[in-house]
Structure 1
Amino acid sequence: MSIKKNISRWVGKLDEVHVEPFLAFGNGKDLLLKGRVISAYKQSRPRAKNNWLKNLFAAVRRYSVTTLPNVQVNIGLGENQLVVETDQDGIFEAMMPDPGELVSQASFELDRIPGIKVKDAVLDIQRFYSERAVISDIDDTILISHSTVIGKKFWLSVSKNAYTRRPFPGVSDFYQKLTHQGKHPLFYVSSSDWSLFDLIKDFLRFREIPLGPLLLKDQHVNLKNIWKSGGESHLHKLEKIRMLFSMFPHTNWVLIGDSGQHDPEIYQEVWMEYPGRILAVVIRVVNPSKQEDEVKRRLEKFPQFFFVKTTEEAIKVAEKEKLFY
């Protein structure tokens, strides 16, 4: 099925179509490549001085994009080529053999269509070989989100931007130490949707929190269901963590999350499936008063699970468990 047949129904409605690449990383043997195909939209760079109204309009523009299903994307790794098709949410994904270090970028191209501008893309390839790595959630783990209070979470997500969202104090220092200043890779596995990809990357850069591949939720969120952003099932996290454990079979992991979006349950499942490969699990307790009994119960059954209220407590745990060395 060609891109021409599938884009033809948008002719007259769309002026420009973009390939938006998200991931191009691997283990030296295979590369995971992922992105989506969307309608173009104008979005100015966020500023710290932007008020809530400007941020609200930016959120409306972000979620007004049209995702294009059943569109073919040509992925190039040097001389190696692969054609993949977007799913119902405009997402495409492929696992390809790594052609080697001489190839430093992946290219993503669409066929040309009369009457529509097409913007292709390239993405630098990341290759990871470390024996230790970190998997972290985002909302209420590094980013103050109030995920357990839907109204509060929604207002934060649309009224703030990458420069006005607040991290938990001390997170940058904590993650810099955990990754040994970037020596060990850091993967973010979150229930945020792909429309927030650029916002999250800008937030991490601005707050000097180590960057790493973002593995977000594939379900497309638009203006009709924007309130679902970051919600519903979180089982996709388990699937993505399993993929990372499989892709990096000789890597041991530190898992970091919070108690508000089923991270403890998901990380327990991973712990039991991959015995001996998890160095520690650190969980930020979102609501200590309601979850104190649950914290104690989990601590009794899983001595390597550490529940903390602050980043300072997390740092003390990491020091005691020698995670900084």
Structure 2
Amino acid sequence: MVPFNALLKSALVITSPTLIILGLYVGLGTLNTSQMIYAYVAVFIASAVLIYPFLANLSSLTYYVKEIALDKRVQAPELTFLGAASELSEALRRLQASWDVKKKQMETVITEREILVDTLPDILIMINDEKKVVRTNRAARAIFGQNLAGKLLEEVIPNRNLAGAIASVIQDLRGREVEFRIEEPVVRDFLAIIERFPVPTAGGISTVITMNDITELKSVEQMRADFVANASHEIRTPLASIKGFIETLQGPAKDDEKARVEFLQIMLEQADRMQQLINDLLSLSKIEMNAHSVPTEPLDLTKVVRQVVEHHKRAASEKNQRLVLNLHDNLPMVKGEANEL
């Protein structure tokens, strides 16, 4: 459909030379004013009728170009009255086909990246300069909730250490690492790696935060520290006892045979205790070294259990306790390390 104003203007432009010529004829006396008006109106109407199909083609072509510029799928117009413009129409068809291919390729790339980001085991949060969440991955949504987009990061993760590190990265444009803890809904420790986004994005992403859950690692480190502290205390105790007995044997009980026999027995027990502690430490170290190695040697569980009972029988007897061992006959052999059980 051709707008009436466009048709009127086009007809006026085309017939303006005719109007000038008719005016000259009137000035020369060849035509009177009424004849000039009738002649011009006839020429104007004829011109409007002739140019209407061309204007209709141009209007359709303009609409087509505007629509594909907006990435819309529309049917290409049939330009029946425009000879040279038909080549343009064909070129536009090819352009739209090319755009469709590029669009599908881009959609595929975006989908692949979204899948890749979502399948990352680490937490990924992207924010803008206003520190509002723009995008997250599945791991982040699993811990902090599903509807995170648009929220301030401080609302999602209210932690001063993290907020300060992010502010520093935004100001200095340099990446940082920071450890922090959240208390709710459960206590978790995280290591956050904060980096400025390398290029501006249409979504406004300016900073990327990758977070590793180090709760288990922190727990293991604390257990290790506690174990070392306890082991050190356990080793110092028998050492102090042995040292005290030696000093006694060198001094007041130097010639006391009964005391010497008794003290030597106690010193032997304390030495056995220290040896067991050292063996435990070595076993722990060996377990850590072979954590990913599968045992291959067969092991007799019956023999191992009997050795454990025999080892603790004396300690149980001193506490007026009795160890009772009930084992099924024909226990199967297993693969393992006796010292690590």
TM-score (norm 1): 0.19
Larger radius of gyration: 2
More helix by share: 2
Whose RCO is larger (CA < 8 A, sep 6+)? 1
Which has a greater percent of strand? 1
